[in-house]
Amino acid sequence: MVLDGRRIRDEILAELQPRVERLKGKGRAPALAVVLVGDDPASQIYVRSKIKASQELGIRSVEIRAPGDITTEALLDLLQPLRNDRSVDAILVQMPLPSQIDAESVVSKVVDADRDVDGFGPFSLGRLVLNRPAPRACTPAGIIQMLKRYKIPIAAKKAVVVGRSDIVGKPMALMLLHENATVTVCHSRTENLAAECRSADILVAAIGRTAMLTADHIKPGAVVIDVGMNRVRDSAEVERLFPGDTGRRALFEKNGSVLVGDVHPQPMEELSSAYTPVPGGVGPLTIAMLMSNTVELAEHHLGC
C-alpha cells in the first residue's frame, strides 16, 4: 500500500479552513512570518511553498529576506520589528543559515516560545518530552498523522528510527513512544544496523543518505516511512535504483536529476506492507503541519 502524503495533506488543510475563518471572525487571520537569509535554491523553494500554502489557506504571510553576507548583529537588528510585532502568531527562520550567522542566537532571540511554529525550541522540545501541548516538529508530527489516518496500529509495535537529528529523529522517537510503541533509535555508530532495522514493524528512515537501507534492512510486512530527499544526478545510479522504470528515466532526462529517499525504492515496494513514496510521501505533510501549528498558535493567542 502506498501512503499518499498529498491526500493526507489535503485532508489536514481542509480541516484547518473553518478554523481559519473562525479566527478571522475573531478579528484577524492567523499570521506566519518566514525569514530567509541568502539565496540557497532549496531554501527559496521551501519558502515559496510555505508562503503559497499560507495564502491558499487564508493565513497572512510575512516574508523577510536578508542578503547572504549579513552579520548576526545586523540580522537581529533587521528582525527587531518582527520580535515586537504581536500580530504575528508564528515565526520560522529558514535553515540552514549562512555559516557566519550564529543560528542558535538568532533563533533564541527572535523565535520566542509561544511563536515557535517549527517546534524546535527548548520549550517546545521540553513539552514534547513531557507529552504536554506545544507545537510539534512538523515532519514527525505529519508522520504520526499519516499513520493514524491510514489506521496503521502504533501501540505495542516495534518502531525503529534511523537518524537522531533534532529536527526529525529525536522528536520522531518521542512521538512514537507517546503512542505506546517500543522504540529503538539507530545512528551512524549502531552495530548490526540491518538486524536492528529488520526487527521493526514500523521503520522510519531519516539519515540523509541515498538508498542506504536495502532489502537486508526491511522485515517483510513492515511499514516503511522514508523521510529522505536526496537528489541523484548520475545516470547509471538512476538506472541502478530504478531498473526499467521508463517514467523515472524520462524525468531524469527532463530535469537532470531525480529524488530518491534513504531507502532503496525497489525492496521497499516489494517487502513492505505500506510505504511512503519519494516524492509525494512525507514531504507534503511537513507544510500541512506547519499550517496546523500556525493555526493552533493563533487560536491560543486569540483565546479561541
Q: What is the dihedral of CA 146, 151, 157, 163, to 10 degrees?
A: -10
CA 156 from chain center: how many Å? 25
To the nearest 10 degrees (0 to 180), the angle between helices 138-149 and 169-178 is 40
Q: Which residues are CB-contacts of 72 (< 8 A; sequence separation ≥ 6)?
A: 100, 101, 102, 105, 106
Question: Which residues are 184's β-sheet partners?
Answer: 160
Give me the residue label for grid cell 524520462.
250
Q: Which of 94, 145, 226, 262 is catalytic?
A: 94
The Cα-based distances of 54 to 1, 10, 17, 159, 277 in angstroms read 30, 13, 11, 33, 25
Q: Which of 24, 26, 39, 50 is catalytic?
A: 50
Residue 94 falls in the annotated catalytic set: yes
Inter-residue contact 288 to 144 (CB < 8 Å) = no
Inter-residue contact 10 to 285 (CB < 8 Å) = no
Q: In angstroms, rounded to a whole number, what is the distance separating the alpha carbons of residues 131 and 142?
A: 16
Inter-residue contact 165 to 211 (CB < 8 Å) = no
Helix, strand, coil in percent for the chain, rounding step 5? 50, 15, 35
To the nearest 10 degrees (0 to 180), the angle between helices 283-301 and 5-25 is 20
Q: Which of 89, 116, 118, 262 is catalytic?
A: 118
To the nearest 10 degrees (0 to 180), the angle between helices 103-110 and 72-84 is 20
Instruction: Return the H-helix or E-strand segment holding 230.
Output: strand 230-232
Residue 50 falls in the annotated catalytic set: yes
Annotated catalytic sites, by residue?
50, 94, 118
